[in-house]
């Protein structure tokens, strides 16, 4: 059994507080997040089947917003789980699906790194003065553990 991670109530609160401040505009931030990913890695657009057969501009693609939003939500849930149990507990069926979808689409470590960078940059932009090194660290830990959980299902 892996050692539980120590994730404090303060760290959890930083993640939740920042997500709450973004929630009312989450569609817009989700879109910015996605656009940042594509700015760094334009070829990543090929990985999203719903972008292939669509004529609508990226900005108006509803699925795109939904997808990106779920990355925020899952990282947030990971923070809650880390504080409660010291590990990320995602429903097994969800993890299996996420693992196989990322594997099938050829997602490798570098992709997860690009997404991490874009995620943190988006939250930084969204939170403005609230942003801090501690907030960045808390989101990073939550994201890394979520990714680790997904990767266990990518083999």
Contact residues for ligand ISQ, defined by CB under 6 A: 33-34, 37, 67-68, 71, 115
Q: How far is the CB of 69 from ligand ISQ (least distance, A)?
A: 9
Q: How far is the CB of 26 from ligand ISQ (least distance, A)?
A: 13
DSSP-assigned letters across all residues of 60-117: G-HHHHHHHHHHHHHHHHHHHHHHHHSS----HHHHHHHHHHHHHTT--HHHHHHHHH
Nearer to ligand ISQ, 7 or 34 (CB): 34
Nearer to ligand ISQ, 67 or 151 (CB): 67
> Distance between CA atoms of 55 and 63, rounded to whole angstroms?
13
Nearer to ligand ISQ, 34 or 139 (CB): 34
DSSP-assigned letters across all residues of 14-54: HHHHHHHHHHTTHHHHHHHHHHHHHHH-GGGGGG-HHHHT-
Q: How far is the CB of 66 from ligand ISQ (least distance, A)?
A: 9
Q: How far is the CB of 100 from ligand ISQ (least distance, A)?
A: 13
Nearer to ligand ISQ, 84 or 104 (CB): 104
């Amino acid at each position: 059994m892996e050692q539980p991670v120590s994730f404090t109530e303060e760290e959890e609160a930083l993640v939740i507080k920042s997500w709450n401040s973004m929630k009312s505009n989450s569609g817009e931030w989700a879109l910015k997040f996605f656009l940042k990913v594509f700015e760094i890695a334009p070829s990543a657009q090929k990985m999203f089947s719903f972008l292939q057969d669509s004529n609508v501009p990226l900005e108006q693609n509803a699925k795109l917003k939904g997808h990106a939003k779920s990355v925020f939500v899952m990282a947030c849930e990971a923070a809650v789980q880390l504080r409660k149990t010291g590990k990320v507990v995602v429903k097994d069926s969800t993890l299996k699906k996420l693992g196989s979808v990322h594997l099938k689409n050829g997602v490798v470590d570098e992709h997860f790194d690009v997404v991490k960078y874009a995620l943190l940059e988006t939250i930084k932009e969204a939170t403005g003065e609230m942003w801090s090194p501690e907030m960045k660290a808390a989101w990073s830990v939550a994201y890394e553990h979520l990714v680790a959980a997904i990767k266990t299902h990518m083999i």
